[in-house]
Structure 1
Amino acid sequence: MTTQPAGPDGLDYLSFVDYAVARTTRELPSVDPTAMRLVLTLHRVTSSLVYDLESAVHRPHGWSWPGFRVLFVLWLAGPLESKRVAELSGMSRAAVSALVNTLVRDELVSRHQAEHDRRAVQLDLTEAGHKAITGAFQAHNEREQAWTGALSKPEQTILIGLLEKLMHGSDDAEPKKRF
């Protein structure tokens, strides 16, 4: 917990968490400030991390964050039907479909009719797509290391375990998960 700024004028993206928790709990005393702080902080760190990865690595390659996610899934698990790409990337089918048009145009992904079902679309990386994603992933992982370098290896392991517990541990959140 950091020192709370006197008012909204002195806030920045991260200090807003302290301000938001303090203001919310004053107005709504029944709010759990720890849960609120955890979710706000997790969201803001994730957003900052994604922005950094996208601006430092993916945009220079001509991709958005969602474009990278599709290429990443196809690289590691492809070829796949588009609905499986959507599922594994945490995106909607419509978003994947629209994104694949760009990736096909850029000759990074090929799209074919699935053999087992003429209505299904099979996606695969092209040779250029494979070369692009493997090359970009080196830079991506360097940024990952820069972000995680603030934590020791044991702290990283603990945080991974805690995040996995959070991801898998809530029965109340189950119906609202993307996967």
Structure 2
Amino acid sequence: MIQGSHLRQEERDTLKKLKQMPIDSLNLEAISIATNLYRSAQRLRVKMETEVLSSYKLSWTAFSILYDLWVWGRLETRRLAELSGISTATASNVIKTLEKKNFCSKSVDPRDRRLVFVTITAEGKAAIEELYPEFYKGETKLIAGMTNEEQKTLAALLRKAADNLHTT
């Protein structure tokens, strides 16, 4: 059961309202976790897009794709979509935007023309290498005040939550 002392007033009020809903066996802990996870992710996204990514006019999704290309060098479009948690259609549109900025280039597999590979360009690499140190500062601010053990626990629990939603 959720203990009220560590909750923000807004969360206590929300949970109080939810308890009045005509739904059998509400799992208030699940609601609280999902709500806080969503709000944390949204705050991080807005902060990074406003304070860091705006200098290159990049969305969170565009940065995510550029980051994956920086790490892996060359990836197939479907894999990029999977890593970013977006549809292949959305990935294709974001890749077009990154291509216009000359941050990546596409090539078709000569053996299977349905496979499109995306590669980071020198300009894309320069952009991500300029952006990432500031982005990293935002990532570390997210976990400020947590012990190393708390960080490891949170990371493990978030992996477990993500695995619960993984569809094959």
**TM-score interval for Structure 1 and Structure 2 normalised by the shorter chain:** 0.7 to 0.9
How far, CA to CA, are the matches of 1:138 and 1:75 in structure 2? 14
How far, CA to CA, are the matches of 1:153 and 1:142 in structure 2? 17
- The CA deviation string for residues 103-137 of structure 1, in whole angstroms up to 9 with x for no partner, is 11111111122233123221101100011112211
Q: Give unmatched runs, 5+ long, in structure 2.
A: none
How far, CA to CA, are the matches of 2:14 and 2:138 in structure 1? 29
Q: 1:174 offset after TM fit, Å?
A: 4.5
CA shift in 2, pair 1:112/1:3, >3 Å: closer
1:56 aligns with 2:51: yes
Q: Is the 1:108–1:130 Cα contact (8 Å) retained in structure 2?
A: yes
| Matched AA of 2:161 | L
CA shift in 2, pair 1:3/1:39, >3 Å: closer
Of residues 139, 158, 161, the one that matches 2:156 is 161
Q: Is the 1:112–1:123 Cα contact (8 Å) retained in structure 2?
A: yes
Of residues 144, 148, 154, the one that matches 2:143 is 148
How far, CA to CA, are the matches of 2:119 and 2:12 in structure 1? 45
Q: 1:89 offset after TM fit, Å?
A: 1.6
| Matched AA of 1:134 | E
Q: 1:61 offset after TM fit, Å?
A: 1.9
1:27 aligns with 2:24: no
| Matched AA of 1:50 | R
How far, CA to CA, are the matches of 1:3 and 1:120 in structure 2? 49
How far, CA to CA, are the matches of 2:108 and 2:8 in structure 1? 58
The aligned counterpart of 2:60 is 65
- The CA deviation string for residues 66-90 of structure 1, in whole angstroms up to 9 with x for no partner, is 1001101111123112111111221
| Matched AA of 1:55 | T
How far, CA to CA, are the matches of 2:150 and 2:166 in structure 1? 27
The aligned counterpart of 1:131 is 126
How far, CA to CA, are the matches of 1:151 and 1:97 in structure 2? 38
The aligned counterpart of 1:10 is none
Give the count of matched residue pairs.
Answer: 162
Of residues 121, 126, 136, the one that matches 2:116 is 121
Q: Is the 1:18–1:37 Cα contact (8 Å) retained in structure 2?
A: no
How far, CA to CA, are the matches of 1:92 and 1:81 in structure 2? 13
Q: Give unmatched runs, 5+ long, in structure 1.
A: 5-14
Partner of 1:124, secondary structure, is strand
How far, CA to CA, are the matches of 2:67 and 2:134 in structure 1? 14
Q: Is the 1:81–1:114 Cα contact (8 Å) retained in structure 2?
A: no
| Matched AA of 1:40 | T
